């Protein structure tokens, strides 16, 4: 809509992660260095965390475009998964043929065969798990067990987990100590500062073919104040400003334009933070409902209307939180059922293994018995011959 007006080849502040538009701030550059090191050296698990909208997905996609062509990559986005489904999901993402009703033990065998085949062909294998903060402890433990698929010298499959800050909190739980010990490289991606925010905006404008001075200094100050350097929020604000200026026929975006965008959007999609403040979601990765605690009146002024809007947003958050907790409860029930099935399958597998070993032992005993019987018959024949010779001599 506004591309021709500003001379853009494409929209500079698209919300869809685009690795071609990755701006390497100090923290993003450091994160990329750590990730490349972890993958090239095959040091173990690699973990990347950061706030919502900080650029984790963009960074990972940029990395995937840079990695060597001799690497097979699978990315898992659905992290609301049960332990029995995880291995089958991995097989599907690597496009490994398997039956839909395959058992967990057989799925592991197929995965191991695939990894051995790739290792023999000199290829690397990378599994990326996004939104990993939603994984249950049981699934995280299942992922840890995958690190046992290795040769004497290195892991057959490199694993990268990506998630929000609560992923770090979850892994710090003593019950996941063994999992934490497998993480060799970990980096927490932080927001950009004021200077980097200005460079980020100019970089994307230039990348799209536009002028780098569309935003005034005070406009960038306001954008940084509201976004606290979170790229997704910056994109949302800048895109809104471009739309407003296009509608007004303005070629320069100032502080007043930014404030108008914030006011008209009513906070939708914009996370307004105080400097140094962070949002702390609960253990399920969702935000508990906030207490609006205010009432509205008819013929309300701007402040009262804003309060009413906040109340409506609060009600929507409560409803969303309720549904999220309901889904978490249902997922827990499914997990319990899955564990029960797993225990039964594991018991059957143990019995089958014991039966195979018992058959092998019986075969060995049968062969040993046959050798003893043959030896006994030879001794008996020799004894009979000896006694017959003595009788003839007498």
Q: Which residue has the higher pLDDT, 165 or 280?
A: 165
CB 328 within 8 A of CB 322: no
CA dihedral 206, 207, 209, 212 (to 10 degrees): -10
Q: Could you tell me which residue, 250 or 297, shows the higher pLDDT?
A: 250
Q: Do residues 238 and 38 touch, judged by C-beta distance below 8 A?
A: no
Collapsing DSSP to helix, strand or coil, 181 comes out as helix
**Percent of the chain residues topping a pLDDT of 70:** 74
The set of residues, in sequence order, having a beta carbon less than 8 Å from that of 92 and lying 6+ positions away, is 98
Residue 218 pLDDT level (bands cut at 50, 70, 90): very high
Distance CA 189, CA 200 (A): 16
Residue 192, judged by CB atoms within 10 A of its CB (0-12, 13-18, 19+), counts as: buried
With residue 45 as reference, give the H or E element that holds it: strand 45-50
Q: What are phi and psi of 278, to 5 degrees?
A: -135, 150
Which range among 4-8, 172-176, 183-187, 387-391 shows the weakest confidence by mean pLDDT? Answer: 387-391
pLDDT of amino acid 243? 92
Tally of CA atoms within 13 A in the half-sphere of 12 that contains its CB: 29
Q: Where are the alpha helices (DSSP H) in the chain?
A: 3-6, 26-41, 56-66, 83-93, 104-120, 137-146, 166-171, 177-182, 194-207, 217-227, 231-248, 255-265, 302-393
Least confident segment among 54-68, 114-128, 262-276? 262-276
Length of the chain: 394
* The pLDDT of residue 259: 92
- Rounded to 5 degrees, φ, ψ at 208 are -85, 0
Pick from 21-25, 150-154, 278-282: least confident:
278-282
Run of H or E residues at 162: strand 158-163
**Is the model's pLDDT at 304 over the cut of 80?**
no
Reference 245, options 255, 233, 235; nearest CA is 255
pLDDT at residue 379, rounded to an integer: 80
> Which of 52 and 69 is assigned the larger pLDDT?
52
The model's pTM = 0.66
Looking at per-residue pLDDT, the higher value among 103 and 391 belongs to 103
Q: Distance (Å, rounded) from C-alpha 349 to C-alpha 386?
A: 56
pLDDT value of position 15: 87
Predicted confidence at residue 310, as pLDDT, reads 58
Predicted pLDDT of residue 214: 94
332-376 residue pLDDT tens: 555 555 555 555 555 556 666 666 676 677 677 777 777 777 777
Chain centre to alpha carbon of residue 369: 58
At 28 the pLDDT is: 94
The predicted structure's pLDDT at residue 340: 54
Give the whole-angstrom CA distance, residue 178 versus residue 113: 26
User: What are the C-alpha distances in Å from 75 to residues 44, 107, 123?
Assistant: 17, 18, 17
Alpha-carbon distance 178 to 158, whole Å? 17
Domains of the chain: residue spans and CATH: 26-189 (3.40.50.300)
């Amino acid at each position: 809509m506004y591309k021709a007006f500003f001379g853009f080849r494409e929209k500079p502040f698209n919300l869809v992660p685009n690795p071609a538009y990755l701006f390497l701030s100090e923290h993003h550059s450091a994160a990329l260095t750590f990730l490349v090191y972890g993958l090239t050296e095959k040091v173990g698990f690699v973990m990347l965390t950061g706030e919502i909208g900080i650029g984790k997905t963009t960074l990972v996609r940029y990395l995937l475009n840079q990695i060597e062509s001799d690497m097979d990559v699978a990315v898992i986005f659905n992290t609301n998964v049960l332990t029995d489904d995880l291995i089958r999901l991995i097989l599907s993402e690597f496009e490994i043929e398997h039956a839909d009703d395959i058992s967990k033990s057989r799925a592991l065998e197929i995965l191991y065969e695939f990894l051995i085949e790739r290792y023999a062909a000199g290829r690397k294998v990378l599994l990326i798990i996004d939104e990993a903060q939603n994984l249950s402890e049981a699934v995280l433990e299942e992922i840890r067990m995958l690190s046992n698929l290795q040769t004497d010298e290195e892991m057959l499959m490199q694993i990268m987990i990506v998630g929000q800050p609560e992923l770090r909190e979850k892994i710090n739980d003593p019950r996941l100590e063994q999992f934490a010990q497998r993480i060799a490289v970990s980096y927490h991606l932080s927001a950009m500062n004021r200077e980097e925010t200005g460079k980020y905006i100019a970089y994307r404008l230039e990348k799209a073919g536009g002028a780098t001075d569309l935003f005034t200094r005070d406009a960038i100050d306001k954008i940084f104040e509201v976004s606290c350097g979170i790229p997704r929020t910056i994109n949302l604000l800048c895109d809104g400003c471009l739309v407003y200026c296009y509608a007004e026929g303005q070629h320069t975006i100032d502080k007043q334009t930014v404030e108008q965008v914030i006011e008209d959007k009513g906070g939708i999609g914009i996370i307004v933070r105080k400097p140094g403040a962070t949002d702390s979601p609960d253990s399920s990765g969702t935000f508990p409902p906030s207490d609006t605690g205010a009432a509205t009146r008819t013929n309300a002024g701007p402040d009262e209307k804003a309060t009413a809007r906040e109340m409506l947003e609060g009600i929507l958050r409560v409803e969303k939180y309720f549904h999220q907790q309901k889904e978490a409860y249902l997922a827990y029930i499914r997990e319990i059922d899955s564990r029960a099935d797993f225990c039964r399958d594991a018991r059957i597998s143990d019995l089958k293994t014991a039966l195979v070993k018992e058959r092998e032992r019986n075969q060995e005993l049968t062969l040993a018995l046959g050798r003893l019987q043959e030896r006994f018959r030879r001794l008996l024949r020799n004894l009979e011959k000896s006694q017959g010779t003595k009788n003839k001599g007498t």
